[in-house]
Each structure stands twice: as structure tokens, then as C-alpha cells.
Amino acid sequence: MLRHLHSIPGLIVALVVTVIAATGAMLAVLPAWEHARSAGSSSAISVAGLAEAVAEKYPGVERIERKPSGAVVVYYFEGDVPGADVVDPRTGDKIEPYEPSGFARTVTQLHRSFFAGNAGRVTAGVGAAAMLLLSITGIMLLASRLGGWRKLFSPIRGDGIRRWHAELGRLALPGLTVSALTGLYMSLATFGMISDGSDAEPDFPDAVAGTEAMAISDIAPLKATSIDNLRELRFPYQGDLNDAFTLTTADGMGYVDQATGELLNYMPNGMVKTVYETIFMLHTGQGLWWFALLLGPSALAVPFFAATGVLIWWRRRAATPKIADNHGAQSADTVILVGSEGNTTWGFAKTLHEALTAAGHKVHTGAMNDLAKSYKHAERMFVLAATYGDGAAPASARQFLDKLEAITTAPAFPVAVLGFGDRQFPRFCGFARDVEETLVAKGWRQLAPIATIDRQSAQEFARWGDEIGQRIDTPLSLVHVAARPKTARMVLVERIDYGTEVQAPTSVLRFAAAQGERKGLLARLFRRSLPRFHAGDLVGILPPGSDLPRFYSLASSARDGVLEICVRKQPGGLCSGYLHGLRPGDAIEAFVKPNPAFRPRRGKEPLILIGAGTGIGPLTGFIRNNSGRRPIHLYFGGRSPNSDFLYREDLRMWLTDRRLSGVRTAFSRSEERAYVQHKLAADADVLRHMISRGAQVMVCGGRDMAQGVVAALEKVLHPLGLDVGTLKEQGLYVEDVY
């Protein structure tokens, strides 16, 4: 709900808000510019002194205005021709003609009304209201994402665009809220919906002396007013003895009898006027030039928010499959919540949604992150959750457990959890199990105990459907046909083979984008390139005859010009066998899947890379891209230095050019019979030193190796009062384990 409140107005008014903010940022510089050009402080000069000097230099003076920047402007007539000059307040001498800049006027008009009169002014007002709504919902969203208001300033995780949208939002929020709130107030005042206090001006006095004017320098109220306090002094109409001076100061307004010097009908500013003046000052920076300079940069961030916000919305939309007949969360009798990262679980949810709809139910399907506090008409709920990392939540379910914790009363309807995972991972369906455990602990009724689906098995899903159908008295035939992922064709350009002598055939395979049939200039013009990816991301490969991708960690990044993986041939392995059979020139169908959780942190702190067998693949990608020469130490485990020492020559080269600071190897079928964890134990002091300097540990390889590494590092960390769990929480220990 909150997200819709943020994204829908955001999309509608992105352009309007961008124009208002960009022009606002330009206008923010003006008060400081005018302030720099103004004559400076003049508290010693009285309005009487100024008016006397001006009247002498400008016999046709109509009024004197003191601008918020401090500049004193005299408006006068020379014959019938009006003029305006900036004058020196001490002498009344002309400094320069007063000509407000055309640029400033154009930008101001664009800011206030888009050059479209009243319709434009209404649009600007709506824009200010939307900006206020976006600021408030944006910060509420961020607080809920970070786990509460108290964590509002904790580090923000996530990929580039989302993270920067939130980081910058947090910084710009105070400025944007002030600008939006004050802008909205001023818009409402423009349309008379809020009073600006100007209707409370004093009436012209019923009677004035009407006799000859006294010398201006002797008029007491003008003598008592410093020009710092002056807003405007209107002179009596020339030769009209029944007219009076009109004096407007920061505090109020009144009339001054030109014959007696008496202050008549003075009216101090009321509350409404004072509030308006303050809001005007806060919004425009007129009279508070440094404040405008603080607001300017916040406004400048708005075009960035608009662009990244639209991109985030678009990506989320593209990633969420369209589900027909999707009822609202509060009107549905059946709620399906989905936790997915790679989108395949959405496909299963869609099949379930369609079957339930066909059986006459009103079904709502949404992301687990959108768990509502209550569902008015729900009679049952299904939670379909995939698992990532080391039993962690997928992207569309990261906030689920926090939201669930916040619900204090268990609902009346029952819930069934269905986990999606892969038995090769140590924590098979670990996240779905955590969800089930929490639901049970919080007293939610079970519709059925948790069930699991291994590697997107359509058969297991159909069996689960049969069981659920019996429980809800609605026969469910769940025939799930997996959507074939969108792939690109890639051609094998190089392969290097290792490990046959030690019964661990392993190949480094390098692919380039397939170029199709075009030849010559056309081929050069329409050259296909590889998709964008980083080392450590995953490539999903479809072996012939299967729509179920197998994932491999990438050992290169797109800028290396090739897509590189390191594959060990598994006995009976469909995909690894297929890949090992490829010859240069053969093509595969593949797609890239980002894996931002397994990337080196930015910075200069050391990296400790630990990998065994093909696990060295992504680690070499990090080393190859280490152009900043941060210290990188690699621990590599294999079987025999003569057969499966993967990347041996590359490592030697990287040591020479200092992309790599040190390598430790451990071979299990050599004389030393060592594993990487033995080398870690032997290097305990050095490792402690690096970890206490903020080093990040990155582990890639098989499950057993990863467990051995954890055990060895626990011992290394113990004297520091640290453990692997703490490092993981801080993002200083990351794994890519299979």
C-alpha cells in the first residue's frame, strides 16, 4: 500500500516535479547572488535620512522599496516616464538602473505557473502536494525497509539504483519537505484558500492635517525606523496635501501625516501575516539567502529521484508476471504471497491462481513483501517462497519476517507454506522453513504442514495441489508448464582443460556473443554484444531438451569481453556433460542473473579469497578486475598441482603485476595432503591482522569445503572476540556455495 502511495503519484507527476525542483534549484542561487551585490548592512541609517536624501536626488520619487537582499530601489517619475534605480542608502545616489534579470523572471514564471496562467499555477500546487506526499511516503518506506524508525540511518543494502535512490532520499528529505510544504502553502494562499494576511491592512485615515508638509528629516516615525526594518515607503502624491506617507515595515503598516509627522492607523502584522512572511522567506530564501543555498541541492536531487524512481518501477513491473483476474488484497477470499528472486516461483503462483479462480475463488496474488496487517475477506493463505544464499530470503520477501513480527494477532484463516529450493544447497528451502516456524510460533493456523519443491519440479507441485485440493474441498489440477527463460546465443571461443589425471575433469570455458548470419558492414553495424554482468554473477544455461536452467558462477565481467565459467564434469551431469562436449564454435543458449550478494565491497581494505576446485572461477574475476591494486590474498585448494591447478599461469602473472598480493595453495592428492582450511589455520596471525583492518572474506566452492573454512576461521577469529556470524551480518563474510 505504502509503496503504491509512493510510486503512483511519483510516476504521474515525475515531470512536473522535476521542472519545479530544477527551476527551484536555480532560483535558490538568486538570493545569495543579490545579497553578494547589495550594499551591505545599514542599521545606522534611519528611514527619515534615506527618504530625505532620495527626495533631494529624485524630485519625482513615488516609493522606496528595500528588497530582501538589502538593495534599496527608488521608483520615480521623470515627467510621465517611470523609472527605477538601485541607490546607495547612505547618500541616495544612483548606483545602477534597477532591472530584474530576464532569466530570473523566466525561471520564476516556469517555476510558478509553467507559463500557463492559472492552470499552470494549479499544476504547480498539485506538484508541491505530490512532492510532499512523495517525501513522506518515501521516508516511511525506507524506515519500514530498514526495520523501523530507529534504524533509519543504518547502512542501506541493495543494488546500485535502488540504493542511491534511498541514500540520496535520506539526505534530501528535510530540504524537500520544507520546500514542498511551504510551496503548497503559498499555492493555497495564491488561490485564496489560505489567507496571507494582506486583507488585514489598515484603512487610510479619515482625516489628515492637510497643511504644509514638514521637513522629512524631522518626521519622528521615520526617524525611529531603521532601514533594515523597512519594506516600503510610499510618498504622498506630489502637491496633494491630503495625502500621507504609507510606511510598511517588517512589523506592520501605517500612515504618516506629512504635515504633523504623526503615525496614523498603524496596524502591527497579525499572526497570519507573520506566518505567511516566514513561509515566504523559507521557500524563497528572500531575506535568508544561506537557507536557500541549503535547499537548492535538495531540489537538484529531484530529477535524479524521478529518473531512478521510474526505472525502479519499470524494473519491478517487468519482473512481476502479469496475473489475470487478480483481486484486491482486501476483497479476495484466497491470498497467495510469493517470495521470488528469479521469477520462476511467480510462474507457479500463476498456475495456482488460475486453478483457484477457475474453481470460483476470488484470488489475490502479491509479493511476500506486501504482507498486509489484515485481510478482510480472506479464508485461506498460501505462501510460496524460494530460498537464496545460505537459506536467506529472496528479493520479493526480504521484509516479510519483519512485517510478520509486527502483526500481533494471528488471523482466523489458515495458511500453507510451499518452499521452492534445490536439494544441492545445504539449507534446502531454508527460508520457507523459517517462515513456517515463525508462523507457527505466532499462533497462525496451518492449512497444511510445509511442503517443498525441489528444482521447480512440476510433478511435486501437482502432488501438493492434489493434497491442498482435498483440504479445501476444491479439486485442484495444477499443471505447471515452466516458461522458458529468455536467453541469448553465445559461442564458445576458447576452452582450457584440467584435472583429467585426478578424475576431476574441469574446463575453463570462454564464450562470446553469437553474431548471426550478417556479413561485412551490416555485421559490424549490428554487432551483438554480451549482456552486462559482473564477476560473481550467475549464468543460467539451458542444456538441449530442457527448459530448466543450470546456474554457474561467472569468472569474468562484461568488460573482459568474454563470458567465462569454470565447470567440473559431474558423473551423469546433464548440463556439465553437455558443456564438456562443446568445441570452439559451438553455441549455447544462456542468460545472466545478477548475484549482488557475492561482490567485493568497495574500498581499499584487503580481500581474502578462499576457493576450492571450480570455486576459484569468480575469485579470478575479482583479481583480474583489481586495477586499484587493493591487497588480495588467495587461498586455493585442488587435488594435484600437476593436474588441476586452475589458472596457474594467470595467477603468476597477477602476482607479478600486483593485482594479487599472495597465493596459498593446498593440494589433497599431493604429498602434503592439505586442504585450504589447514592453510588458514597456519596463517592465523596474518589473517587476524587483515580482518582487524576490515578485510572482507569471500568463499566459493563446495559445501564441505565451506564448512571446513567456517570451522577454521572460527578459531582464527576467537582471540579477536569475533565470529563468522558477526562478519556475515556486517557483509564481511560472503559465500557462494554449491
Ligand X SMILES: Cc1cc2nc3c(=O)[nH]c(=O)nc-3n(C[C@H](O)[C@H](O)[C@H](O)COP(=O)(O)O)c2cc1C
Q: Answer whether 474's CB lies under 8 Å from 359's CB.
A: yes
Closer of 390 and 402 to ligand X (Cβ): 390
Closer of 550 and 624 to ligand X (Cβ): 550
Residue 53: all three cell numbers together: 536624501
Closer of 225 and 369 to ligand X (Cβ): 369
Smallest distance from ligand X to CB 619, Å: 16
Closer of 284 and 456 to ligand X (Cβ): 456
Smallest distance from ligand X to CB 570, Å: 17
* Angle at which helices 2-27 and 29-37 cross, to 10°: 20
Smallest distance from ligand X to CB 423, Å: 7
Quickly list H helices, 301-416: 302-319, 344-358, 400-406
| DSSP-assigned letters across all residues of 288-327 | -HHHHHHHHHHHHTHHHHHHHHHHHHHHHHHHSPP-TT--
Query: From edge to edge, which strands make up the β-sheet containing 380-386?
Result: 363-367, 334-339, 380-386, 415-421, 446-454
Closer of 298 and 345 to ligand X (Cβ): 345
Q: Determine the Cα–Cα distance for residues 272 and 279; give it in Å rounded to an integer.
A: 11
- Nearest-CB residue to ligand X? 421
Closer of 252 and 485 to ligand X (Cβ): 485
Smallest distance from ligand X to CB 476, Å: 20
List Cβ neighbours of 25 (8 Å cut-off, separation of 6 or more): 296, 297, 299, 300
Phi-psi region of 503 (alpha: psi -120 to 50; beta: other; left: phi over 0): left
C-alpha separations of 497 from 376, 402, 562, 581 in Å: 61, 48, 17, 12
Smallest distance from ligand X to CB 317, Å: 17
Smallest distance from ligand X to CB 636, Å: 22
Smallest distance from ligand X to CB 706, Å: 12
Smallest distance from ligand X to CB 587, Å: 23
Closer of 347 and 631 to ligand X (Cβ): 347
Smallest distance from ligand X to CB 556, Å: 18
Smallest distance from ligand X to CB 593, Å: 7
Closer of 247 and 698 to ligand X (Cβ): 698
Closer of 556 and 595 to ligand X (Cβ): 595
Query: From edge to edge, which strands make up the β-sheet containing 252-256?
Result: 94-97, 81-87, 72-78, 61-66, 230-234, 245-249, 252-256, 263-268
Closer of 308 and 456 to ligand X (Cβ): 456
Decide the pairing of beta strands 72-78 and 61-66: antiparallel
Q: Determine the Cα–Cα distance for residues 132 and 411; give it in Å rounded to an integer.
A: 35
Closer of 598 and 636 to ligand X (Cβ): 598
Closer of 177 and 345 to ligand X (Cβ): 345
227 DSSP 8-state letter: G
Q: What is the largest CA-CA distance in the chain?
A: 120
Smallest distance from ligand X to CB 326, Å: 18
Q: Determine the Cα–Cα distance for residues 9 and 234; give it in Å rounded to an integer.
A: 46
Smallest distance from ligand X to CB 159, Å: 15
Q: Determine the Cα–Cα distance for residues 236 and 254; give it in Å rounded to an integer.
A: 13
The helix/strand/coil state of 446 is strand
Smallest distance from ligand X to CB 538, Å: 6
CB atoms within 10 A of CB 478: 19
Decide the pairing of beta strands 446-454 and 415-421: parallel
Q: Determine the Cα–Cα distance for residues 387 and 204; give it in Å rounded to an integer.
A: 78
Q: Determine the Cα–Cα distance for residues 378 and 447; give it in Å rounded to an integer.
A: 13
Q: Answer whether 719's CB lies under 8 Å from 688's CB.
A: yes
Closer of 322 and 519 to ligand X (Cβ): 322
Q: Which residues bind ligand X (CB under 6 A)?
A: 340-345, 386-391, 394, 420-422, 425, 427-430, 456, 538, 551, 595
Q: Determine the Cα–Cα distance for residues 500 and 643; give it in Å rounded to an integer.
A: 7
Q: Determine the Cα–Cα distance for residues 617 and 549; give it in Å rounded to an integer.
A: 19
Decide the pairing of beta strands 607-612 and 488-498: unpaired
Closer of 124 and 417 to ligand X (Cβ): 417
Q: Answer whether 368's CB lies under 8 Å from 400's CB.
A: yes
Smallest distance from ligand X to CB 523, Å: 34
Q: Answer whether 46's CB lies under 8 Å from 231's CB.
A: no
Q: Determine the Cα–Cα distance for residues 707 and 677; give it in Å rounded to an integer.
A: 9
